[in-house]
Amino acid sequence: MNRSQFPEHFLWGAASAAYQIEGGYQADDKGPSIWDTFTQQTDKTKHHTNGQVATDHYHRYKEDVNLMAEMRLKAYRFSISWSRIMPTGEKNISESGLSFYSDLIDNLLAHGITPVVTLYHWDLPQALQDKYGGWESRALVPLFADYCRILFERFGDRVTYWVTFNEQNVFTSLGYRWASHPPNIADEKRMFAANHVINLANATAINLCHELLPSALIGPSFGYGEVAPFSSQPEDVLAAKDANQFNNDWWLDVYCRGQYPVKILHLLQNLNLDFEISAADDVLLKSAHPNFIGLNYYHGGTVRAPSQAQSDVVEKQLTNIDPYLMAADNNQKSPEHYLFQSVENPYLDKTDWGWEIDPIGFQIALRNIYDKYQLPIFVTENGLGAFDTLDSHQNINDDYRIQYLNQHLLELSAAIASGVEVIGYCAWSFTDLLSWLNGYDKRYGFVYIDRDDFSAKTLTRIPKKSFY
């Protein structure tokens, strides 16, 4: 693999999200987000970790951008915290919040780094949750558009690449089904309803961007994993098709074609899990055309037919909820119960956190998405969460991460060679950061941050071997 196998202006980058790095949770005018509240009011995060200080990027962003430049990143994907821009999510605008991101963008550009801005990476202003019930309310669609309009107007002269929602599939299921993210709800019907409202907000934001910034490029980032059948038994093959529809097409078909997969829609109706889709919704969803699909790839999944359960297959443990593959549960009303059951793939190694490592699945994902939707793909996340430790010379020899990234980049280059159009690749993540539920020990970065779950320590930045 060498550079010439990638397009000339390929965006080699790394990514982050506001709540996971910024800290400064009450700095200047910032209002609380649902993550600020959730981490204070529940004990669902490891060791009660939260993003109050995080990596203190809010105060140290210049140092971080200098490191990006030293690593020669061509792109940096970060998210904007809505409640930093609008403390209550609506009406009043915070100039200090805007100037933080404006300075960050200017700093990146001054170093030749292309900013890639995510509009929503899970930190809804708490005031919108309290006043309207968050994403369950259609009132959020125009409010999200108001917020996006401000960003397009203020930053559109300098930002070309925009991501609407980060991993809608993940934050809706963890937030509204499994009650392990805010708003801490366990109700499938409400999840599907909120998901539809977010689809409307996504389409509205894309249309608004195209109206205000005709040369900008915008798309959602989706947490995608191709689902394989456990065996060649036709029932398992059918289960894999259904699982792909349920886990992937359910979102990607809406983003790219403006329609839900019919089979899943019918199943939800039969299970009384359906939601209101008006004629106007239909028009709106069909009117929005993303310029690219953001792909966050960690791994895929394996399934067999629900009726094929046998003792030789290790079923996925529900205690370790996997956000990339909604595990079937015993609830007879759950859609998965009728479609598939998730099982372990016996051929794959796993990370320290039990996530399957499947680089070939990455090539399959890229090719399948491109073949199906014919849109350029921007890899907006891919990386390895691991326990990194400092050696006696204060170095981090993360050869396992280098190997992981190398294997995935080889598959990426193979996908490109086979004709898939890929705009860029942002590794997750640039610095170590807060892993939402797993605290600070699950490290993804090229740059080590000297902190742990219990103390912010020195917050010193130490480039790892993978950085070099």
Q: Is 436 or 467 the residue whose CB approaches ligand BG6 more closely?
A: 436
Q: Which of 48, 188, 178, 162 is nearest to 101 (CA)?
A: 162
Give me the least distance between CB of 419 and ligand BG6, in Å please: 27
Strands (E), 59-146: 75-79, 114-120
CB 259 within 8 A of CB 253: yes
Residue for token pair 């993550």: 35
**136, 167, 226, 356: the active-site residue:** 167
DSSP, residue by residue, 133-152: -GGGSTTHHHHHHHHHHHHH
367-371 LR contacts (CB < 8 Å, sep 24+): 367/415, 367/418, 367/420, 368/226, 369/224, 369/252, 369/293, 369/295, 370/415, 370/419, 370/420, 370/421
CB closer to ligand BG6 out of 220 and 261: 220
Is the Cβ of residue 242 or residue 342 nearer to ligand BG6 in the bound state?
342
Measured from each CB, the residue nearest to ligand BG6 is: 435
Give CA angle at 191 (264, 240), nearest 5°: 35
The string of DSSP codes covering 305-373 is -GGG--TTSPBPPTTS--TTS----S-TTSTHHHH-EEE--TT--B-TTS-B--HHHHHHHHHHHHHHH
3-state secondary structure (DSSP) of residue 188: helix
Of the residues 90, 188, 356, 381, only one is catalytic, namely: 381
* In the complex, minimum distance from the CB of residue 434 to ligand BG6, in angstroms, rounded to a whole number: 8
Measuring CA to CA, which residue among 122, 271, 310 is closest to residue 192?
Answer: 271
Q: Which residues partner with 75 through β-bridges?
A: 13, 114
**Spacing of C-alpha 271 from chain mean position:** 28
- Shortest spacing between CB 20 and ligand BG6, in angstroms: 6
Structure tokens at 359: 């680089």
Alpha-carbon distance of 51 to 433, in angstroms, equals 9
- Write down the least CB distance from residue 380 to ligand BG6, Å: 8
In the annotation, is 167 catalytic?
yes
Nearest distance in Å: CB 448, ligand BG6: 16
Residue 381 falls in the annotated catalytic set: yes
Q: Which parts of this chain interact with ligand BG6 (CB under 6 A)?
A: 17, 20, 166-167, 170, 223, 296, 323, 381, 385, 428, 435-436, 438, 442
> CB of 117: closest distance to ligand BG6 in angstroms?
15
Of the two residues 13 and 323, which places its CB atom closer to ligand BG6 in the complex?
A: 323
State both tokens at 324.
Answer: 């990339």
Which run of H or of E encompasses 424? strand 422-428
Closer to ligand BG6 at the Cβ: 163 or 305?
A: 163
The β-bridge relationship of strands 461-463 and 447-449 is antiparallel
Nearer to ligand BG6, 49 or 416 (CB): 49
**Min separation Cβ 157 and ligand BG6, Å:** 27
Smallest gap from Cβ 324 to ligand BG6, in A, equals 8
Q: How far apart are CA 33 and CA 181, in angstroms?
A: 12
- Select 118 or 213, whichever has its Cβ closest to ligand BG6: 118
Report residue 206 as tokens: 């894309």
Q: What letter does residue 162 receive in the DSSP assignment? A: E
- CB closer to ligand BG6 out of 252 and 284: 252
For residue 350 the two structure tokens come to: 């796993």
Q: Which residues are catalytic?
A: 167, 381
